[in-house]
Structure 1
């Protein structure tokens, strides 16, 4: 991804990409200066995106998402492979995590040669408000 691609509105769902970036980065320029990513395009739609979500030192947390109608067509695998290869080329450690029940994401990460660093538990609970 570069300045030109991010400035284009030629894709039917350009907002999908800008929303992904703005979810993790304060500005598009911050993303372009510190992160990177890849997209897969089908006709005039962005089918999948893989990008740096968070960074620390030489580690980039991976965020990947494929638009639902394009899932199970290997678009996610293509962008993830390009991302991981770029990490290796420039000396960045890709960090990938996902919930343990996300079998597809786990298979994809393992297929790219990534391995489990650690397990962690996340607990959710509701807060009741009383008046």
Structure 2
């Protein structure tokens, strides 16, 4: 059976597997126990392969790909435990990335594990460039004012209390174990319109000084007005004031997200594959 690694001390054994991925923020946050997720490995001590689920974000297969017993049990754990939990939490898509150790290749394993049903897309990572962000601020500071009726706020306890519907709390707890953890380690901004939160930009995962960005304008009626850019810019400033580093990753078809990242001084890196499949479709195959 796969071993569930509950303690950060146990999960820290997996740190070398992600050290070549710029300390991967999402996996790092889950391994540290800050953000919600589950970690399974082939062995409690000196694991060679692992499955990491970052809730509401991504599944990851890391390490050796030729671990046949591990590979067989991964599908079982996914189908019997993790995917039903993800479905009940509102996720409808299995999204999967792989990080093999040198010399390993997950391609044939994935084909067999999911009966050739996985689709393949592309994710685009960005690296923050402080100088370019400063240049953009100088050019664009006058255009960051919110449209009439909208207010940009930094998320703190008082703002959460004023959010009577609980939109901010709901967004934070999709990723974080508690609001207190977020207040202590995370950062965020929001847009308020007529007393209601209509958009948020928050640290969805934090690993050390690295913050992965999650941004959302909830109702299409509020989009196309520059709200996301303003929230993201204020969020980046807040992260920098904490002497931390903002990160941005998105899918290749999210053109608005790519454009905002580019405005704010994030430099586009090389796209890499992400595998996906509707959860219900996978469960129906069983």
TM-score by length of 2: 0.42
Say yes or no: does 1:57 pair with 2:238: no
Indicate the structure with greater strand content. Answer: 2
Aligned residues: 126
1:41 corresponds to which residue? 192
Deviations 1:25-75 (A, max 9, x none): 111111111101011111122121101110111110000000222111111
SS at match of 2:205: strand
- Matched-pair contact (CA < 8 Å) for 1:39–1:79: yes
Which of 81, 84, 108 is the matching residue for 2:260? 108
Deviations 1:62-118 (A, max 9, x none): 000002221111111111000112222332111111110000000001001111244
- Per the alignment, do residues 102 and 6 of structure 1 end up closer, same or farther by CA in structure 2, a change over 3 Å counting? same
C-alpha separation between the residues in 2 aligned to 1:115 and 1:95?
10
SS at match of 1:101: coil
C-alpha separation between the residues in 1 aligned to 2:178 and 2:239?
22
Quick one: higher RCO (CA 8 Å, sep 6+), 1 or 2? 2
Which of 159, 183, 186 is the matching residue for 1:5? 159
- Matched-pair contact (CA < 8 Å) for 1:47–1:75: no
Q: How does 1:50-89 map to 2 (within 5 A)?
A: 50-68=201-219, 69-89=221-241
C-alpha root-mean-square deviation of aligned residues, in Å?
1.5
TM-score by length of 1: 0.88
- Per the alignment, do residues 51 and 9 of structure 1 end up closer, same or farther by CA in structure 2, a change over 3 Å counting? closer
C-alpha separation between the residues in 1 aligned to 2:166 and 2:161?
11
1:94 corresponds to which residue? 246
- Matched-pair contact (CA < 8 Å) for 2:239–2:246: yes
- Per the alignment, do residues 95 and 9 of structure 1 end up closer, same or farther by CA in structure 2, a change over 3 Å counting? closer
1:15 corresponds to which residue? 166
- Matched-pair contact (CA < 8 Å) for 1:21–1:28: yes
Say yes or no: does 1:121 pair with 2:263: no
- Per the alignment, do residues 90 and 117 of structure 1 end up closer, same or farther by CA in structure 2, a change over 3 Å counting? farther
SS at match of 1:73: coil
- Matched-pair contact (CA < 8 Å) for 1:58–1:91: yes
Larger radius of gyration: 2
